[in-house]
Structure 1
Amino acid sequence: MTHQRTVLITLGVMMSLFMASMESTVIATAMPSIVRDLGDITGFSWVFAIYMLTSTTAGPIFGRLSDLFGRRPVYLTAIAIFSLGSLGCGLAATMPQLIMARALQGLGAGGLLPLAFIIVGDIFTLEQRAKVQGLFSGVWGVSSVIGPLIGGFLVDQISWHWVFWINLPPAAIAAALVWIAWRDPVRVAGTRPPIDYAGAALLSVGVVLLLLGLNEPTSLRGIALLSAAAATLALLVMVELRAPAPILPVRLLRERMFAVACLHGILAGGVLFGSMNYVPLFAQGVLGASATAAGTTLTPMMLGWVFTSIIGGRLLLRFSYRSLVIWGMIIFVVGALMMARLRPEMSQPELAAALGLMGIGMGASIPSFLIAVQSTVVRSVLGAATASLQFARTIGGTIGVAALGTLLTNRLATELAMRGLQPDAIPVDALLGEGATTVVLAGEPRLALAAALATVFTVPLIFALAALAVTFFAPAHSPDDLRRKREYADSMAAAPQQAGAD
């Protein structure tokens, strides 16, 4: 592939990655205006939840389809679905219409997010990928941080509809760039395996049941949903082990590199997303920050992630990826340890330092594992393997958020009761999540919230220590070893196809 084509594809894919990742946060500041115009506040949470449901489910499916049908048609399909969903969101006249359009938008985003990293794995060598992958991780981090700022500007200066319509011009440009520049390799006739419809259906049902159950894990309904999810996902594993081209490459778990990377993703995702969800609550409820300031508390984490992702790729070319991952996780654990020592007198600089260290750890470990996996798996399953790593982090994050939420609810009730206060003494809903408002806490309620959160953040520390332990099981390879293993795997996979063609 020529340098010019590579540049065009990179620009297009980076634009789509920015849009898809930003859309998960940009809507937060627009929701008050949307509810005011459309009414039906009961559907408020579903505007966020449906996007997460469809994007999480779609990721592994799009990744595998790109292995079977080529990157370009699947990428263009994903960006078309995302654009159609964005258009529908802006045109929505009722809350149900908005929720349906958000489901479509999330479906497209679920394809764009993994395909960005899959395409990087296709068009760049190991040396190039080590440098470029950090930039892509940086795009993801920056878009997550500035999403609410862009949403607030559009709502204040134009209207909430443009929070969605702003995606349309760059989506068209990104699609045009990839359409013009990308060329999928020619496939040998008759080599495409059948689509794994059963696996796709079971994955979709299992993930939806899991995410719904995690919203209320201690209720009877939640337990029933989680039980059904466990049964569905167990059946999924059985089906995938027999499928010629499984949606989830379960057989790859026999390879130590892939298995360790997925387990690390689950554990690290639990820490990362759990922290991101509850740190603003501490900043506002305990430190007394405004709702706006609390929303920017996570900036040091994202900046640390972006900076380390960029330089980490270059370090990967000089040191073993395993060394980089281990040192990154040690730094991550230090940050998690500082977070576990939350206290009312903790200063903003201390909190920023803890989050910055966690971001540095993530920036060193996550891209390194991704590059290592992409360098060792057979190219025919590169899409499925890449999407599965992102899927592991997302599922781990969802489990982490749910587990911390349940622990917070129980611990906060205990702390309030010890102080003779009622459970509604702290309006947690007003302090947490999208549309958080400024609520000033003082005295016993503030101390109760601080004590409850201190207990809550011991769980991410345990997850972080487990993630560090897991990294020691990763196989030790230098970049040259990774390249040779990839070339050998590709040659072995191509041999049967060449024999069939002859």
Structure 2
Amino acid sequence: MFMAAIEGTIVSTAMPSIVADLGGFSYFSWVFSIFLLMQAVTIPIYGKLADLFGRKPVYFLGVIIFLVGSILCGLATSMPLLIAFRFIQGIGAGAVQPIASTIVGDIYSIEERSKIQGYLASVWGISSIVGPALGGIFVEYIHWAWVYWINIPFGILSLIGISLYLHENVEKKKHSIDYVGSGLLFVSISALMLAFIQGGVAWSWTSLPSLFLMALFVLGMGLFLLQEKRALEPMMPLKLWRNPIIVISNVGSLTTGMIMIGVISFIPTYVQGVMGYSAIVGGFSLAMMSIGWPVSATIAGKVLIRLGYLKNALIGGFGLIIGSILLITSEPAFGPIWVGIGSFFIGVGMGFTTTTFTVSVQSSVEWRVRGVATASNMFMRIVGNTVGISLMGGILNTRLAHFLETHSNKLGGIDLDITNQMLDAEERQKFADDTLALLQEGLNISMHYVFWGFLVLAIMSLIAVSFFPNGIKTNKQL
């Protein structure tokens, strides 16, 4: 869990420096998107395999692939290579968090589970506070490669611990793996992500490529649903989606996942590019979310049994809205503290909602499908991450490109790659004051379109969780 949590904040903090070193700002969102895409595709597969063959062997496979990808990412010499290595890293990452969470669901009762999920959130807090600090230190004093290599010792320790202490009895029988379903899911989600990343930038939203990709997504998902109905052991059993608690939790995970990745991806860029602060300051503004998350998750875990799913989730929904409003109203003159407070409230929202989602899903199913049920919830969050970074990256690139075109008479024939220099402290000093101010204004305006997107998603999340039952239900009742 530490390795999964630190991956988000430490990489995000270092990304402006990575872009400044390797170039290719227009590929910025791909570094996150390709990683999240492979997580999204592999999470349901790992979840199903964990139900079929046990948690331990599947967890081992995923962590080893993740560590190999991490080593390669640190060795990347160009943005395309980094994206390729993040592809490998993402394949392994699909096993880390969902199977760790499934193991927790296996070894604790519902009363214990809500508290333990809160305690585990403190791991996110510690790692996410350490992450931005380490990211800033690595970038400024060592090398950005260490934001990936830091995974290696923790991954090895995790493998040793699981090997020594996790003992499970799994029924041995011949199984049928749903390869067709996995392939259809990969094609569908890939088409959707590519449409969001390139739409409005490389081509218009109504162009033939955009329409083709969206049609491919719809067709692929249609075939995927047909395949899941006829598969002997479907990758994602559709009967799970008849459970209202799972439906509500998964829809909520989709929208909150979009908010989460938006904050992680763009807050450091906003603080560094628009406000002109260092990577460390940008990292700590983001870390405020990582403080609010574990504190609220710990509280949510302790009061969940008493308050029930509905009240816990509503508290989280209002936290997301408050945080989004603070980000919308932020201005460079307010400084990074205002942004940090907004991040904190979004962390509060994430803590209450994700704890409720995880506990409710795991408590509404039996062991034999707990892996795939947990994976379905993680899958929806990662799909939210994937769609979120693609959509918001597209919004940012579209608005910034429009601003640069509108002010081309003052800025000359520059493109989105000018942002590479804005995120590099030394390069930024080479701009004339009026040019830098104009570029920062453009980035500021573009970022606020993204912040408005946060608010829309927060409202959607609140509406979704309002359908939760008032109280606690277990798999015996469902």
| TM-score after normalising by structure 2 | 0.83
Letter aligned with residue 437 of structure 1: D
Query: Alpha-carbon deviation of 1:242?
Result: 2.5
- Is 2:61 the partner of 1:77? yes
Which residue number corresponds to residue 454 of structure 1? 448
User: SS at the partner of 1:136?
Assistant: helix
> Which shifted more, 77-86 or 415-424?
415-424
Structure 1 segment 12-411 matched on structure 2, within 5 A: 17-24=1-8, 26=10, 49-88=33-72, 101-151=85-135, 153=137, 164-187=148-171, 190=173, 193-218=175-200, 219=203, 220=207, 221-411=209-399
Query: What are the ranges of 5 or more consecutive residues in structure 2 without an aligned counterpart?
Result: none
**Displacement of 1:304 after TM fit?**
0.4
How far does the alpha carbon of each residue in 1:173-201 deviate from its partner, in whole angstroms, 9 at most, with x for none? 322322232222342x65x6522121122
Pick which of 216-225 and 64-73 moved more.
Answer: 216-225
Q: 1:143 to 1:413 in 2, by over 3 A?
A: same
Query: In the superposition, relative to structure 1, how do residues 281 and 375 fare at CA in structure 2: closer, same or farther (>3 Å)?
Result: same
- CA offsets, 1:141-200, max 9 Å, x none? 54345335435555777766665554444433322322232222342x65x652212112
- Confirm whether residue 472 of structure 1 aligns to residue 466 of structure 2: yes
- Between 231-240 and 210-219, report the one with greater CA deviation: 210-219
1:361, distance to aligned residue in structure 2 (A) = 1.1
Provide the alpha-carbon RMSD of the alignment: 3.6
Change in Cα spacing, 1:292 to 1:257, as seen in structure 2 (3 Å) is same
1:291 and 1:431 in contact (8 A); partners too? no
- Paired residue secondary structure (2:306): coil
Structure 1: stretches of 5+ with no match in the other structure: 1-16, 490-502
Aligned length: 464
Summarize deviations over 1:208-247 as a string: whole Å, max 9, x none.
3333332212325444333323321221122112223221
CA gap of 1:474–1:132, structure 2 versus 1, over 3 A, is same
2-structure distance, mates of 1:317, 1:359: 21
| Match of residue 497 from structure 1 | none
Larger deviation, residues 349-358 vs 114-123: 349-358
**Cα distance change of structure 1 residues 237 and 424 upon mapping to structure 2, 3 Å threshold:** farther
**Distance across 1 between alignment mates of 2:325 and 2:265:** 17
Structure 1 residue matching 2:475: 3-state secondary structure: helix
AA of the residue aligned to 1:436: L
What do the CA deviations read for 1:22-61 (whole angstroms, capped 9, x no partner)? Answer: 3455456778998999x89799866655433323321111
Structure index of larger Rg = 1
Q: Deviations over 1:386-429 (max 9, x none)?
A: 11112212222332233333333444455567778657799765
Is contact 1:214-1:399 (8 Å) kept? yes
- C-alpha separation between the residues in 2 aligned to 1:368 and 1:461? 21
C-alpha deviations, 1:245-304, integer Å up to 9, x for none? Answer: 221233212211111111111111222222333333432344343344223321211110
